[in-house]
Structure 1
């Protein structure tokens, strides 16, 4: 695969990425570099026809995109909004939106349509799932709750979480955090944080400047690295690959590699190879050298 430490890791297959809500409206997905390097496969779900068509036009040989709407197995009303990125099965909360500059316009519902949803646990031929990336405008908790069996194989979840509700009865960060922790994940990092100006003030004529209110973020959860004994060798390998290639979390990579070495699953040379790749000196004692 072109990287010494990856060769030493000897994964049996490519890392499996599942992308729910794969609409490319926000630009490249977090796993884009890993995909370009030929280190992962992607199974994406996108029910909006125009977005699905774009994804399929631009897809490479390691990607496939399906028109399913993932949810709880029931039909829902899809609210298509003025801003494509706010389209959701949840109802925009006009009162809440009015507290943020421009958001009432963004959340204006232009069309309502019925959409059938499929639980993640009921998707056939899903393939390997190591990293789940999900962005479904408030429906994340519903999907997690109806995908618990499938998510047992995942080692990382990249999800949008909300701190300021934009929809009626929208689950917030605490709700999502509780569900994922109950499924054996722990919060690892914020990959991105979105701040927005509180309405109605506009300073210096700049409507989108001088903003401090955190409204949402991309949160990264990983399987509990305090209980690596609960993970299979295959999961440890793919957690290492995701942590490095998607998030640059070299400390988490080393913890996983050290566990694999300790259990005899991989040769000790993988640690030297990883240190060489990083161009860093590596020790495993966790003690400062100047103490």
Structure 2
């Protein structure tokens, strides 16, 4: 079994000195400091949107490759420009679904809530922001298995998933690919904000037979009634982590 030191211990001295003073470094440190030791070379950012998670990856780690997958065509184009000077970043303009082809992408008034899954009727009472659908656009769709094959992805050290209710579809179309993912950082739901979307218990039951173990929750979000709406969950695959 290989052992790996924490990424923070490998930072140069000047970067460690800057940690208390740079908000981007502080944000990344708060997020990643409790993640398990791992090579942290190859990353997959599914539902990259404006690239904030990738910003944190670049700040905290020394990535060899980051694949950013974004269904919203406008956002994908913006990501291409934003990370054009980062040779490790590769943008894939597609939705991740249960099968490859095309998908109807719903652009909502609150743009970050846009999804290939329609908003549920009760969402307006849960969120303070308008989730109303403003238009739809037909976009390329890839199953996770096909994405790995077409882009020849290696073992992924950390995959972030933020795809607004389409998590079940990703898992259904990624049974082979998920065996090559050490960790998944995924948004999980406690309320049905997207029509027919998998809530946390179902998602947990889909991931555990694939060898994933729930490690931690991050940033719980509540609705106006004080009840939990969603959070981010970190799942690790111990067997793959141990192979280093």
TM-score for both structures, normalised by structure 2: 0.75
**Matched residues in 2 for 1:15 and 1:172: separation?**
31
Q: CA offset at residue 80 of structure 1?
A: 1.1
Structural RMSD (CA):
2.8
1:1-291 correspondence to structure 2 within 5 Å: 15-24=41-50, 28-29=52-53, 32-37=55-60, 39-40=62-63, 41-59=65-83, 60-73=86-99, 74-94=101-121, 96-100=122-126, 102-103=128-129, 106-123=130-147, 124-128=150-154, 129-198=156-225, 212-224=226-238, 230-231=239-240, 235-236=241-242, 238=244
Kept in 2: contact 1:192–1:219 (CA 8 A):
no
**Distance change >3 Å, CA 135–CA 4, structure 1 → 2:** closer
**Matched residues in 2 for 1:156 and 1:175: separation?**
18
**Matched residues in 1 for 2:120 and 2:200: separation?**
17
Q: CA offset at residue 138 of structure 1?
A: 0.3
Kept in 1: contact 2:71–2:93 (CA 8 A):
yes
**Matched residues in 1 for 2:143 and 2:48: separation?**
16
CA distances 1:136-185 after superposition (whole Å, capped 9, x unpaired): 10001110121111111111000000001112111100111111101100
Please list every run of 5 or more consecutive structure 1 residues that lacks an aligned counterpart in the other structure.
Answer: 8-12, 199-211, 225-229, 239-291
CA distances 1:14-53 after superposition (whole Å, capped 9, x unpaired): 61101111102xx731x64442355222101112122112
**Distance change >3 Å, CA 6–CA 127, structure 1 → 2:** farther
**Distance change >3 Å, CA 214–CA 17, structure 1 → 2:** same
Q: CA offset at residue 113 of structure 1?
A: 2.5
**Distance change >3 Å, CA 28–CA 114, structure 1 → 2:** closer
Kept in 2: contact 1:43–1:126 (CA 8 A):
no
Which secondary structure does the structure 1 equivalent of 2:222 belong to?
A: strand
Structure with higher Rg: it is: 1
**Matched residues in 2 for 1:188 and 1:136: separation?**
21
How many positions carry a matched residue from both structures? 208
Kept in 2: contact 1:69–1:118 (CA 8 A):
yes
TM-score for both structures, normalised by structure 1: 0.64
**Distance change >3 Å, CA 32–CA 101, structure 1 → 2:** closer
**Distance change >3 Å, CA 182–CA 223, structure 1 → 2:** same
**Distance change >3 Å, CA 237–CA 145, structure 1 → 2:** same
**Matched residues in 2 for 1:166 and 1:54: separation?**
27
